[in-house]
Amino acid sequence: MMKVGYIQFHPLFGEVDYNRTHTLELIHQRADADLLVLPELCTTGYLFTDKTELERLAEFIPEGKSTKAWIKIAKETNTYLVAGICEKTKDGKFYNSSVLIGPEGYIDTYRKIHLFNTEKNFFSPGNGPFKIYDIGIAKLGMIICFDWAFPELTRILALNGAEIICHPSNLVLSFAQKVMLARSIENRVYTITANRIGDDIRPSSKLIFTGESQVTSPKMEILLKASVDKEEIGVVEIDPLLAQNKMITANNHIFLDRRVELYQPIINHNELEK
Ligand code: ACM
């Protein structure tokens, strides 16, 4: 058994120091958790207007201030953290990333592969590989926000053994929370969606984020759900071993029943265009 959860809050656009400090306060409040997931881009906010802003607000991983602060608190609280962060690299690229950090220190970074809408103007897409992390008490996989719309990614993570899908988010549509229930049952995994609340009001546009962070189970249950607009930390006890049982009826194994020989069109754009 282990305690997992989400931290839902309102990152203030551009206020990286304030946002980082606030995540530390919130993580401290649930120091009893084994795994906490924080929202996408939780140190910067979401709605960038130009690359100068990105350059100013993005951080290197793992030597940036936010990753370092999370490494310290993960050690102090003996907690694993998955947190969305705006990453910059030495070769001048920007990624919409999430870091996995544990009591043993920095573990790895996932770079979002399916960029949403105007994110394409600012970020380079990640290119995998889709890794699984065995943290001893569970095996984790990471996706970020709009990755929810591409079931192939969660499927690959589950096929590779992920028991919990960590899903930092800045959701603006109302579909993902429902879809993640499908991701749970079709793969028999837990999912933790950590969404943000509030709005980003910028000179040329505005976005309102939809909250309702949640934890779902391999049986398609919503174990925990947050409000639409309040800062909340939700923590629930789960049994990761449940995600190893892929039988959906006595006669149906959710992976072995796949008819992969019939699925070629989903990996070939040209086939779909015919
Ligand atoms: C999203 O991918 N942030 C909607």
Q: What is the mean predicted confidence (pLDDT) over 174-183?
A: 96
The best mutation among 115, 148, 172, 200 to test binding of ligand 1, ranked by most ligand atoms within 8 Å of the C-beta, falls on 172
Q: Which of 40, 119, 212, 232 is catalytic?
A: 40
pLDDT over 60 at 271, yes or no: no
φ/ψ of 222, rounded to 5, equals -90, 110
Beta strands in the chain (DSSP E): 2-8, 35-37, 80-88, 94-102, 105-111, 133-134, 139-142, 164-168, 190-194, 199-201, 206-208, 214-216, 222-225, 232-238, 247-249, 252-253
Per-residue model confidence as pLDDT tens digits over 138-175: 999 999 999 999 999 999 999 999 999 999 999 998 89
Per-residue model confidence as pLDDT tens digits over 58-110: 999 999 999 999 999 999 999 999 999 999 999 999 999 999 999 999 999 99
Ligand 1 binding pocket includes 116 (Cβ within 6 Å): yes
Q: How many CB atoms lie within 10 A of CB 113?
A: 17
Into which CATH architecture does domain 2-247 fall?
A: 4-Layer Sandwich (3.60)
CA 169 to centroid of ligand 1, rounded, Å: 6
